[in-house]
Structure 1
Amino acid sequence: MAEVLLFHHVLGQTEGFHAFAGELRAAGHVVHTPDLFDGATFATIEEGARFAGEIGFDVLGERGARAAEGLPDGLVHAGISSGVMTAQRLAQTRPGARGAVLLEACLPAGQLGGWPAGVPVQVHGMSEDPFFAGEGDLDAARALVAEARDGELFVYPGDQHLFTDRSLPSSDPAAAALVTERVLAFLARVG
């Protein structure tokens, strides 16, 4: 059993986000899902990004760090899209990380001081996603997996962003199911 700190994407805590967390819980994992948007949800990436920008990405990062306070060492830090910023930062800077799951985004590891030795990582994204592939996250993921001693990168055919959120029109149910299967295998291994 793993203990996971899961951060939502820029649309907030959607039904699909909660469904994914529920699947991890159903497999026996403890999953914490802090709401960095205080209950706000959005219909479009643009609306969510505007809201996040108004709050400030530094403030959102601070909220994520506060969510980790009081939780034990040995967490798997996970995030979806914009939630990856907080999850990856915690995986790289908070002592005792057991692993990281980065869905649909990835930062250059060097931006946060390099990937910590002994922390496994799993990254998922679509090959033609304009955000993941088009904005450099895929390249960052390749470099991160090469740097990490225990890293996996899974690239799915398609051009959708937020394909893992089954409540959204961008969902790819077959790819999302495969992501869930692979994440559960990762959690079983590191837990």
Structure 2
Amino acid sequence: MKSTIDHLVIVAPDLDTGCAFVTDLLGVDLQPGGAHPRMGTHNRLLRLGPQLYLEVIAVAPSAKCPDRPRWFGLDQLTPNSPARLATWVARTDDIHTISDSCHDIVGVVEPMTRGTLSWQITIPKDGGLPLAGSAPTIIQWGHGTHPASALQDKGCSLLALDVFHTDPERVNAILTAINFSGPVYLHALKDASTPHLLAHIQTPNGLKTLTIARV
């Protein structure tokens, strides 16, 4: 069992808001993704490597409301919520073993689809973010090529992901449990501080940092 970073998740009240946040900062456009029928959401994507990408995800206005909370805390957003780097996703080759070891934090394994793609992913029952987004969601793709390989290369790559949490050892325990390796660095916050992420991305316009949109 092993795991590595698979993609970054930008949440927004709608796709246009989320994509404008990314494009204004990175200077590149995102590509169409698709719809997630089980969650009532849709996304757009940006390649960050051969098996790594950034996802902007939002509730799909015309989609049927699911019979459970949506993933990535999307039900908690309002029309005025800023776009933000909410969490990250780690790819594994043994999702059920990982879920058994830390399901109380990452959630249970659910099957998911988008167009012809299929995968398994962990989702907390309340649809929230594991450790406020500091701990990763876990994914295992079905057979075939990774979806990032089908995306246009816009000259962007992830150099590092900084994770700020009041209890970084708790986050580290999850990463150890899933046998994680990759450019993810943990930092301690004071008790009153809010956990957050900083993604350092090399772009055609220089090194940029993603976190939360200024409002």
Do they superpose with TM above 0.5? no
When you count helix as a share of all residues, which structure comes out higher? Answer: 1
When you count strand as a share of all residues, which structure comes out higher? Answer: 2
Higher relative contact order (CA 8 A, sep 6+): 2
Structure number with larger C-alpha Rg: 2
TM-score by length of 1: 0.35
TM-score by length of 2: 0.32
